[in-house]
Structure 1
Amino acid sequence: MADWSWVAYTVLEVLIAVSCCLGNVLVVCAVCVGIRDSLREPTFCFLVSLAVADFLVGVAAVPLAVLLDGWVSVTPDLCLLLSCVVLVLTQASVLSLLAIAVDRYLRLHTPLRYKALVTQRRTWMAVSVCWTLSCLLGFTPLFGWRNYSPLSSDSTNTSSSSFISPPCTFLSVISLPFMVYFNFLACVMAPLLVMTLLYSGIFWSLQGRLKECCPQAQASLLREKRLACSLALVLILFAGCWIPLHLMNCLLLFQGPQAVTRGTLYTGILLSHVNSAVNPVVYACRIPKIQQAYSQIWRRFNVRLNCCHGDKKVRRSITGSRANHTETCGSGGKSTP
């Protein structure tokens, strides 16, 4: 890749990382502070989980994506561990989206038992299960499905006292068969297919109920449909941003390195990271409660800013009046014989 292209890629990654951090911190603040009793609603708990995963993409995954391109020389074991962190965060996003889809399906199809079935305790247990599974699935290469053998690296270290660790790259330690057969097909595509079926059932049921229900119940169903559309859009954006990169891995596995140019691969990596920066924008544009929370946070920020500005003006006026009083007293003292 040309030097200017690498600079452009790095600058874009930095901008994406900053957007991920700021946008998702705002989402967490909006849900936890701006929306009253929001954490008692399962959907918003899972949205916080998704926002945390997206925030960690900006904090960890994006910097690691830049470093894991041959810029650092570490031991293969450490390189593998750093590469697995990226897989864990991706899996956390997938499972959070799956939990949201299951929650909306249960809310619509078991309305009478929903509150008894989906309690706050069970919701946070589900969040914990999502992150635990993400760690287990993401760290699977540590248990053996990788591109190098620890025994061979140890023998290399003992045979040469002047051994230098090779540059750390993602595909030097993560196996392409693992990425295609396990990570893509089993851990990404399978949950996406389940979510597609769940949202299809949700929209089919909502459409039928809207035709049959009385006008008084339509408002509630329309709100439910709007939220389902917003969450489905988040799912579609996730698929649209991540599937191209996984398809490139398929081409690399079946047709070799010449099938995907370096620039195309970097474009796919950027697109996958953009997803974490876009989600807060979707929440702001599509979910009314989060819109209201953003407005409240903005108003509070403006009030505090105006208060600080007003305090500065008051301090300046007090300081100015004291200075004028001092000058007056000083001039009076000089005129006394």
Structure 2
Amino acid sequence: GLIRSVQKFELCFPKLLNASCKKQMRTHFEFILSYVTLSSITVITTTLNLLVIISIAHFKQLQTPTNLLLLSLAVSDFFVGLLMFFQIILIDGCWFLGDLMCTLYYVLDYTITSASVGSMVLISIDRYMAICDPLHYSTKVTEKRVQVCVCLCWICSVIFQILVLSDNLKQPGRYNSCSGECVVVNNYIAGLVDLVVSFIGPVTVIIVLYMKVFVVAVSQARAMRSHIAAVTLQGSVKVTAKKSEMKAARTLGVVVVVFLICFSPYYCYCVALTDNLLNPVSAAFVICLYYFNSCLNPLIYAFFYPWFRKCLKLVVTLQILQPGSSERNIL
């Protein structure tokens, strides 16, 4: 049979009576499960991304333009991990840190999301240049230019989100319906601009660039096939070409698909939020998925690289503290 759960409520601020928000009462099991899940994701996300940051920042050999973009992504993902601490505070639905902290939390959250998406766009531009214009790659994509792009990405994210949330910053807590609530509200136009600038635009750029990269990778595989076909038997070559085409498709597919799977529901949730279309359970799932992407990024980008495993060993065994360790041969 069905077990009926009766919702009981307590107040966030019992002394304020009617002005206080209601605390959502959960079973002991639900509370522990939420707490353990969020805490685990926080620890794993911050630890993995911190390892990426230490590795790239410490070893001079790793400070290439592409890795500087991975460093930017790792920094934004590291902050996402730290921000999950506030989600843990909000487990029972009450915010105790005041209205200003609530607004700043959202500004920080949105800024980091924008910077993360921006870093993904820069990574896709970098891969596009490397595969589609390999002859001019080293002259066009320099360390200095990448540093400037990364700084601009972060500065623009901060300015843009302050503008989007300006109403909430002028008067923190103006949209709260009761004490202990933490909400920010954008006007329709600001929300629409944010959706286009922070999600639809970047995602379109990423998909278009990766499609072009994929087309070039496939044509390179075909060129290799016809080259080998001149020297070898036709039969065995078809298999090789198929494999290389599939490999190109898979690698690029993983990168784009994981990002879209984790981010798309979050932006749909932000749109649905204004119409209260989602129940708390699906909202929690969407937010966890969005945060989980920051945990997956170092796995997708870094664990596929043998140098990361080598760095991991050197960092964990504290060998990076030895003099001259930054000059070590990692690659």
Same fold (TM over 0.5): yes
Identity rate, percent: 23
Q: CA deviation at 1:12?
A: 1.4
Residues in 2 aligned to 1:52 and 1:251: alpha-carbon distance in whole angstroms:
29
AA at the equivalent of 1:276? S
Q: CA deviation at 1:86?
A: 0.4
Q: CA deviation at 1:78?
A: 3.7
Matched, 1:249 2:270: yes
The counterpart of 2:162, out of the listed 108, 126, 139, is 139
How many matched pairs? 275
User: What is residue 96 of structure 2 aligned with on the other side?
Assistant: 72
User: What is residue 330 of structure 1 aligned with on the other side?
Assistant: none
Alignment gaps of 5+ in structure 2 = 1-23, 229-239, 320-331
Q: Give the SS at the match of 1:37.
A: helix
Q: Give the SS at the match of 2:95.
A: strand
Given that 2:302 and 2:308 are in contact with CA atoms closer than 8 Å, whether structure 1 keeps it comes out as no
User: What is residue 127 of structure 1 aligned with on the other side?
Assistant: 150
User: What is residue 308 of structure 2 aligned with on the other side?
Assistant: 293
Deviations 1:40-62 (A, max 9, x none): 2x211101110111011112x21
Q: Give the SS at the match of 2:135.
A: coil
TM-score (norm 2): 0.72
User: What is residue 24 of structure 1 aligned with on the other side?
Assistant: 49
Alignment gaps of 5+ in structure 1 = 154-164, 305-337
AA at the equivalent of 2:86? L
Select between 227-236 and 42-51 the one with higher mean Cα deviation: 227-236
User: What is residue 10 of structure 2 aligned with on the other side?
Assistant: none
User: What is residue 186 of structure 2 aligned with on the other side?
Assistant: 175
1 or 2, which has the higher helix percentage? 1
User: What is residue 278 of structure 2 aligned with on the other side?
Assistant: 260
AA at the equivalent of 2:213? I
Deviations 1:155-212 (A, max 9, x none): xxxxxxxxxx93241xx22337468523333311210011000000000011112211
AA at the equivalent of 2:98? V
Given that 2:70 and 2:301 are in contact with CA atoms closer than 8 Å, whether structure 1 keeps it comes out as no
The counterpart of 1:56, out of the listed 55, 66, 79, is 79
AA at the equivalent of 1:240? I
Given that 2:57 and 2:63 are in contact with CA atoms closer than 8 Å, whether structure 1 keeps it comes out as yes
Q: CA deviation at 1:229?
A: 5.2
Residues in 2 aligned to 1:38 and 1:176: alpha-carbon distance in whole angstroms:
44
Residues in 1 aligned to 2:270 and 2:254: alpha-carbon distance in whole angstroms:
25
Q: Give the SS at the match of 2:94.
A: strand
The counterpart of 2:40, out of the listed 3, 7, 15, is 15
Deviations 1:273-316 (A, max 9, x none): 1111112222354x3xx323313532675697xxxxxxxxxxxx
Given that 1:80 and 1:173 are in contact with CA atoms closer than 8 Å, whether structure 2 keeps it comes out as yes
Residues in 2 aligned to 1:152 and 1:2: alpha-carbon distance in whole angstroms:
24
User: What is residue 238 of structure 1 aligned with on the other side?
Assistant: 259
User: What is residue 62 of structure 2 aligned with on the other side?
Assistant: 38
Deviations 1:68-125 (A, max 9, x none): 64321513x4421221100011111100000000111112222222211111111111
Residues in 2 aligned to 1:281 and 1:80: alpha-carbon distance in whole angstroms:
31
TM-score (norm 1): 0.71
Q: CA deviation at 1:236?
A: 2.0
Change (3 A) 1:223 1:292: farther
Residues in 2 aligned to 1:8 and 1:178: alpha-carbon distance in whole angstroms:
38
Given that 2:262 and 2:292 are in contact with CA atoms closer than 8 Å, whether structure 1 keeps it comes out as yes
Matched, 1:187 2:192: no
Given that 2:41 and 2:292 are in contact with CA atoms closer than 8 Å, whether structure 1 keeps it comes out as yes
Larger radius of gyration: 1
User: What is residue 106 of structure 2 aligned with on the other side?
Assistant: 83
AA at the equivalent of 2:61? D
Deviations 1:11-55 (A, max 9, x none): 211111101111111222333446x62212x21110111011101
